Structures are given as C-alpha cells and as structure tokens.
A and B are shown apart, each in its own frame.
Chain A
Amino acid sequence: MTTTSPPTQPGERLLPARPGWPDETGHFGVFGGRFVPEALIAALDELTDAYEAMRVDPAFLAEFHRLQRDYTGRPSPVTEVPKFAEHCGGARVLLKREDLNHTGSHKINNVLGQALLTKRIGKSRVIAETGAGQHGVATATAAALMGLSCTVYMGEEDTRRQALNVARMRLLGAEVIPVTTGSRTLKDAINEAFRDWVTNVETTNYVFGTVAGPHPFPAMVRDFQRVIGDEAREQVLEREGRRPDAVLACVGGGSNAIGIFTAFVPDDGVRLVGLEAGGDGVDSGRHAATITGGTPGVLHGARSYLLQDDNGQTIESHSISAGLDYPGVGPEHSYLHDIGRAEYRAVTDAEAMEAFALLCRTEGIIPAIESAHALAGAMTLGRELGPDALLLVNLSGRGDKDVETASQWFGLGDREEVDPGPGLDTDQQPTEGAVSNDEAVAGPDAGEEL
C-alpha cells in the first residue's frame, strides 16, 4: 500500500489541521450556523464539546483509526482506469475506491466516528436519515457493532427505489421508518429525524449523514470524511510524483466531496470540481443541482444554497440517484463556491447513466449512480483538459444497490417512462435498450462515441 500506515503510536495521529473555517460558531463565511429550535441547542453544544475533546484525545483516535483499518478496510486503494479514460479525452483517470469500504460507500467513515462519540456522551440510541440507504446501512452497521439501538428515517419514495438497503438495515437490527410527508425523500426524512431528536434528545444522538445541518455537523462530518483526501493525496503523490490536475466528486449534501477535497484545498493548482445531480437538466426545473441552480437560504439548520421558490418554500428535487436527490447542500460547498476555490457543475441523469454503463463495461466496476455523476464529470473535464491531465475521481460507493434502477433504465426504451418505483417486475426482458457487449451500452441516450 502506498498510503498512510495505521496508527501504532497513539497521540501522534491527531486529525490533521482544519482549514481556516468554519469559525467557532460554525460559520463558513455567511453560510452554516445554527437555525434550529432552542430545544436542540443544548444537545448541539454537548455534541460540540464532546467532539472537540474527542478529536484531540489519543485514546479515541487510536480506537477510531483501528476501526477504520480493521473494520472498514482502510486505506482504500487508488485504481487507474485506462480504458474508461479513453472516453475522457485521453486524460488519465485515477479512482479513489471508497466503494470497497465495508458497507459499500464512504458513509462508514463518518458513522464510526459519530457512533464512538455517541457512546462517549452516554447515549444509547442513534437515529439517522438516509436517502439512497447508504448512510442508513452504515449507521445500522455501526449501531450493531457498538450495541446501540438504531432508528433510520427514509422517505417512502426512497424505500421503494432502494429496497435492498431497507432489507440490509433491517437485517442489521435497525428500525426503518418510511417517511410519508412532503416529497417523501431525503429532505423529509431529515425533518422527521429532527422531530425525533428534539423529542428524545436525552437518550438519543442524531448521527447526521452529510456535511449539512447545524453546527457542529458540517465540520465534524468533514473531519471524519477527510481521510479520503488525506489518503488519496499521499497515494497520488507517491505513485505519480505529482498532484492531480483536478479532483472530482459528486455532490448531494456533499460529504464524499468534502472528504476528498479538504486535503487538496491548500493546493492552489488542483481544481476541485463538484458534480451535482442535473436530473432532466437544470433548465427543466427537475434536478437536484443546488449550487448550479439554487439560491442562498436556510434549510435543515444551516444557511446554504438551496432549491426554493419565491415564497421560500423548498422545491422538490429530482435525480435518478436517491443519494443526490436533495434540495440542499453543505454550507462549506456554498462557501468554496463563493470564494472560487471549488467549481460546481451539473450532470444529467442520462450523462450519469452513460458513465455508469461505461465504467461497468470497460473496467469491471459497477459504481453507485451517485458516483457515476463524478465519472461523467471526468468524461467532460478530461475532454476539456486533454491527454496530459491527471484526474482523481472519488468513487464514493458501489452500485449493487442500483442494479434494479440501472436494469430498468437500460431495459426500457423510453427514458420518460423510467420509474424506479412500482412495477419493477415488468418489462425485464431484453429490449432495444438492453445492455449487450457492443451496442447501446449506455442505453437509449448513449453518446455517439459509444
């Protein structure tokens, strides 16, 4: 392995220094902060205090690093994907393989830290929200490991799109509550989780899944996820003797992107590119590209970009990817955008699925549809930068959970009819859009070059 070795000398492995933000009240410039009912402030203060003590506590960090190594399987490798890269204008493409983590995505990085924190503050129950189910699965996993009771809120719409993950969470002993309010997706699951938390805060810790929400969540989740970029930066330097030209990651709430960006923020020559879910296209109004197509406001406890109408009502987002189907985004991304340190682009469902199919066929890796947005971004950026470019893409998760959605996408002739919800049993036989070895790899909307 070409990366950081596991901790052997507790006390020497403190979490790396933070960037100059947020300030001590959780503000990233004008973004972030705490927009929550007063009833939650004591719990957020308690969490902040416990976390600040824990992050410099050698015993905690030794345990955290041990779990990352022995349980998650860190460090995750970096894999070069030359055949995929042929479709990226000849640029070289390296994947950071968070898909190989235990539970199948980067989400476990954060959850292990927060579950340890839960035990430290003496609470016996965790709650979580989940979109694609990856954070829910990771939380249920950590709860099983550490003997915590676990309740996961998941939009009813998502429980259908990601039925496999619902079953996984239940196998792990978690209670999964389908949320039937609002748009029945991630944003409503977060609302329900906050309602649970304010009611049961004495016994319960909220294990938040992304770098959004009120302070301290954006900073804390970043600290737990930054291992992705810390490892990858070292791995790339070691194998290439240089930094990548660009680092790409998909952005829903934005935790895997912050995770891989953070180590590179001080590297001025490295472009940081977040790929948002463009759905049917930003112009269509059916998308989840919060920074690309949204405006600043307050949602879920923080000020950040969000999709909202003139009355300040949150607009329902749309993406084929449940994990990116969120009308908000972490405040640090809004800040990185506004100061010009990171750039954000939208990738449509069709572009993401094209990249999804391409990686499957050229490299034998089935990515999560979320991560496929970052791959699609690499296809575009590689063509812009040309053959000398070195791109690092965060492959944040694996696509096992997405097999049904992908089968349906490629199996149906008309993408307007794609409905990952009911009717999964219908029309599964190969049709004109089915994946064969040479044709129609990326379905009906595949680019000409395929």
Chain B
Amino acid sequence: MSPSENDAGVSIAATAEATDVAERGAERVRSRGSQLADRIAAAKAEDRAALIAYLPVGYPDVDTSIAAMVAAVEGGADAIEIGVPYSDPGIDGPVIQEAVDVAVRAGVGMADVLRAVTAVAEAGAVPVVMSYWNPIERYGVARFAADLAAAGGAGAITPDLIPDEAAEWLTASEEHGLDRVFLVAPSSTDARLRSTTAACRGFVYAASTMGVTGTRATVGDAAERLVARTREVADGLPVCVGLGVSNGSQAAEVAAFADGVIVGSAYVREMLEGRGADGVRALSKELAKGVRS
C-alpha cells in the first residue's frame, strides 16, 4: 500500500516539511532534552515502563480534577495526560465522553488546563496536554505553545491531528522546545509509521486497537505487533501504548513490550463512580506495580 501513499492524500510538501522540522527537532532534543523522553528513559533505567495517566480537566470541577491528577502522581504515575475538554471527542468512548461533557458544559477552557499543567509539574510528574485540535487552533497555536511552555508543560498529544496537517504546530512546538506526540494505529502503513514517528518528539503513541477509548478485557496481540513495527522505524524514540489498559496485569503485559503504558478510561471511571482522589491514587499504585513487574 505504501507506494500509493503520496497519491492517496499525504502532502509531499507537508511531509517534507514535517521531516525537516523533525530533524531540527531531533537536534534540539539532543541539546535541550525532552521532558517526556527523559522521564521515560529514567523509568527504563529502573528496568520498567513509564506509567502515563489520563484525566480530563474539569470533572467534576476544575479543582477536584487537579487534585485527582496530583493523587495519580502520588500513586506512581510518571506523567499526566491532561485532557482538554472538547464537545466532539471523536475517538473517545462513553466513559470519557460522560466526564468531558460535564466540563464542556461548565465552560472549562485553556486557562484551567494551564493551571492543571503547573500543578502536575509541581507534584513532580511530567505534564503533557491531550487535546483535540480545534481547542488549540481556537486558542491560537503559537499562543498555546508559548503559554504551555511557560506553565511548565512538556508538550501535547493531538489525537485528531496528523503530521500532514500539523505544519503550524510543528513550528510552534519547535520554537518552544515542546514535545509533540502523534498517534500510530494498527492500520498505519509502514510509510506512515515512518513519517509519523519522524514528526514526533517525546514519544510515539501506539493506539493498541482499532476503536475508541475504553476499558477492554484484553489488550490483544495487535498492540505488540504495532509496537514492534513502530520500533523498526522509530530510531530510538520511545513507544507508549494506549487504549484498553485498565488494570495492573494488563499494565504488566504491555510493559513487557512498550516503553510506557497509557491509562485513561480506568482513571476516569474512578472519578465517575465517586471514588475520587483516593480511588485514583489506589489505581496508580496498582498500575505502577504492574509496570514494574
């Protein structure tokens, strides 16, 4: 399928630009370091995978959500994916949708997100923003990059932004030394695995299954195959796995082949079911044990 790649919708110019920017980015990573890559490397030095926890800002309210993020750090999360609420979360399943919907209706915005970034940094974990593209575009891409860097953020994960469309973000993230995490999927061609990982900084997000976020009974072999395929082209960039991991044994399973384990819906469920910061902290402890086993 890869020979048709360029006919089929990947802008040659955009890809070339992405590659160019990524090369310059790689230089910067070497010179200034990437918060995410550094933290994942530190975990690796302990012979374990990193634990990355997702929680959205603003559920059930901004302060409580920030307290939950801090609790996730206390329980052992290395990085927090700080979710920007969005009205049309296309790849999120019902659990995250339910929580995010509350935050959207309450008018939670980027100022709240940046407050969470600073709180997570102060708690000792790496804060990385997770946002659909429109809230960032609306805020202003350059302004977002500047404010995120000033707040102590590592960078951003952008689930509906592919590098082909990301010229403005590549430039802005470069300028402020921010990590940028794009997704790869089991359906990605080898050519796309290569061009996407080349545009990433910090780590590459391997979406373990074809589907939306949510807990699953098993993570499946697709994730391991995808990680192996990604590693072949990733040139040492860490590969972290998300979608479907919800408990310690799944975390252990994924930690055996990935550099980091990303858990979202299971954390959000702790909040939705009222167990709050205590539940989040306990889940982090279980998962942190998993990534060390």
Residues of A near any B CB (own CB < 8 A)? 24-26, 33-45, 48-49, 52, 181-182, 187-188, 191, 194-195, 198-199, 201-202, 215-216, 297-301, 308, 310-314
Per-residue A-contact encoding for B59-83, CB less than 8 Å = 1, 0 else = 0000000000000000000000000
From the candidates B136, B160, B164, name the one contacting A37 in the complex (CB within 8 A).
B160
Q: Check B212 against A49 for contact (C-beta < 8 Å).
A: no
- Cβ of A36: which chain B residues have Cβ within 8 Å of it? 90, 160, 162
What is the CA–CA distance of A300 and B132 in the complex, to the nearest angstrom? Answer: 11
Q: Is the CB of A37 within 8 A of B88?
A: no
A188→B97 CA distance, assembly (Å) = 12
A297–B97 Cα distance when bound, in Å, is 21
The count of chain B contact residues (Cβ–Cβ below 8 Å) is 51
| Contact of B42 with A by CB under 8 A | no
Instruction: Tell me which residues from 137 to 167 in chain B have a Cβ below 8 Å from any Cβ of chain A.
Output: 137-139, 159-162, 164-165
B185 touches A39 (CB 8 A): yes
Q: Is the CB of A314 within 8 A of B185?
A: no
Q: Which residues of B contact A43 (CB under 8 A)?
A: 187
| Nearest B residue (CB) for A315 | B87
11 chain-A/chain-B pairs, Cβ below 8 angstroms: A24-B7, A34-B162, A35-B165, A38-B207, A43-B187, A181-B97, A182-B88, A299-B88, A311-B85, A311-B108, A313-B85
Contacts of B212 in A (CB 8 A): 195, 198-199
Q: Are A215 and B134 in contact (CB under 8 A)?
A: no
- Determine whether the beta carbon of B88 is less than 8 Å from that of A38: no
Query: In the assembly, what is the distance between CA of A42 and CA of B185, in Å?
Result: 9
Give B contacts to A, CB under 8 Å. 1, 4-5, 7-11, 14, 85-91, 93, 97, 101, 104, 107-110, 133-139, 159-162, 164-165, 182-189, 192, 196, 207, 210-212
Q: For residue B110, which residue of chain A has the nearest CB?
A: A311
Contact A45/B1 with A25-B14, A37-B160 known, Cβ cut-off 8 Å: yes
| B138 adjacent to A311 (CB under 8 Å) | yes
**Shortest beta-carbon distance, B100 to chain A, in Å?**
10
Name the residue of chain A whose CB is nearest to the CB of B97: A181
A38 and B107 within 8 A (CB): no
Closest to B5 in A: A45
Does the CB pair B188–A311 fall under 8 Å? no
Greatest chain B CB density within 10 A among A35, A42, A52 is at A35
Contact B188 A42 (CB under 8 A): yes
Q: Is the CB of A181 within 8 A of B101?
A: yes
What residues on A are CB-neighbors of B196 within 8 Å? 38
**How far does the Cβ of A22 sit from chain B's closest Cβ, in whole Å?**
10
Residues from chain A with a CB closer than 8 A to the CB of B87 are: 182, 313-314
Instruction: State the 3 A-B residue pairs at the shortest beta-carbon distance, nearest first.
Output: A312-B138, A39-B185, A45-B8
Q: What's the least CB distance linking A151 to chain B, in Å?
A: 16
B138–A37 contact, CB under 8 A?
no
Output the least CB separation between B171 and chain A (Å).
16
Beyond A37-B207, A52-B7, A298-B160, 13 extra complex contacts between A and B, CB < 8 Å: A24-B11, A25-B10, A35-B160, A38-B188, A41-B188, A45-B1, A45-B4, A297-B138, A298-B137, A300-B90, A311-B107, A312-B86, A312-B139
Contact partners of B189 in chain A: CB under 8 A: 42, 45
Judging by beta carbons under 8 Å apart, are B187 and A201 in contact?
yes
Complex: A423 Cα to B215 Cα, angstroms = 40
Count of inter-chain pairs, beta carbons less than 8 A: 144
Chain A contacts for B192, CB-based, 8 A:
38, 41-42
B75 to chain A, nearest CB (A): 29
In the bound complex, CA of A297 to CA of B141 (Å): 12
Closest A residue to B196 using CB positions:
A38
Taking the closest CB of chain A, its distance from the CB of B243, in whole angstroms, is 9
The distance in angstroms between the C-alpha atoms of A311 and B132, with both chains bound, is 12
Q: Which of A37, A216, A311 interacts with B159 by CB under 8 Å? A: A37
Q: Return chain A residues, CB-CB under 8 Å to B162.
A: 34-36, 38, 41
Least Cβ–Cβ distance between A197 and chain B, in angstroms: 10
Q: Are B160 and A201 in contact, with the CB atoms below 8 A?
A: no
Smallest beta-carbon distance A107→chain B, Å: 23
Q: Which residues of B contact A300 (CB under 8 A)?
A: 88, 90
Partner pick for B134 among A34, A37, A299, CB 8 A cutoff: A299
Q: Provided the pairs A42-B1, A48-B8, A312-B134 are in contact, do residues A195 and B93 lie with their beta carbons within 8 angstroms?
A: yes
The answer to whether B11 touches A297, judged by C-beta atoms less than 8 angstroms apart, is no
Is A198 a contact of B91 with CB atoms below 8 Å? yes
Quick check: A313 and B104 within 8 Å, CB to CB?
yes
**B211 adjacent to A199 (CB under 8 Å):** yes
Contacts of A202 in B (CB 8 A): 210
C-alpha spacing A41/B184, complex, angstroms: 10
| Inter-chain contacts of A38 with B (CB < 8 A) | 162, 182-185, 187-188, 192, 196, 207
Residues of B within 8 A of A44 (CB): 9
Contact A39 B1 (CB under 8 A): no
Instruction: Give min CB distance, B154 to chain A, whole Å.
Output: 21
Bound complex: CA of A182 vs CA of B101, how far in Å?
Answer: 7
Residues of B within 8 A of A298 (CB): 133-134, 137, 160
Collect the chain B residues with CB atoms within 8 Å of residue A188's CB.
88
Looking at B87, B133, B183, the one whose CB has the most chain A CB atoms below 10 A away is B87
Whether the pair A48, B9 counts as a contact (CB closer than 8 A) is yes
Q: Is the CB of A39 within 8 A of B210?
A: yes
Bound-state Cα–Cα, A52 to B14, Å: 22
Tell me which residues across on chain A come within 8 A of B109, comparing CB atoms: 310-311
Q: How far is the CA of A316 from the CA of B70 in the complex (A)?
A: 34
B108 CB to closest chain A CB (Å) equals 8
Measured CA separation A310–B140 after assembly (Å): 11
Chain A residues within 8 Å of B7, by CB: 24, 48-49, 52
CA distance A4 to B52 in the complex (A): 61
CB B146 to nearest CB in A, in angstroms, measures: 17
- Chain A residues whose CB sits within 8 angstroms of the CB of B210 once the complex forms: 39, 198-199, 201-202
Q: Which residues of B contact A314 (CB under 8 A)?
A: 87-88, 134
Of the candidates A38, A298, A308, the one having the most CB atoms from chain B within 10 angstroms of its own CB is A38
Q: How far is the CA of A44 from the CA of B192 in the complex (A)?
A: 13
Distance of B217 from chain A, by nearest CB (Å): 15
Contact (Cβ within 8 A) A191 B1: no
Measured CB to CB, the nearest residue on chain B to A23 is B11
Q: Is the CB of B4 within 8 A of A49?
A: yes
Q: Is the CB–CB distance between A25 and B11 below 8 Å?
A: yes
Give the distance to chain B from A49, nearest Cβ to Cβ, in Å.
6
**Chain B residues within an 8 Å CB radius of A299:** 88, 134
By a CB distance below 8 angstroms, the chain B residues around A33 are 164-165
Contact across chains for A37 and B90 when beta carbons are under 8 A apart: yes
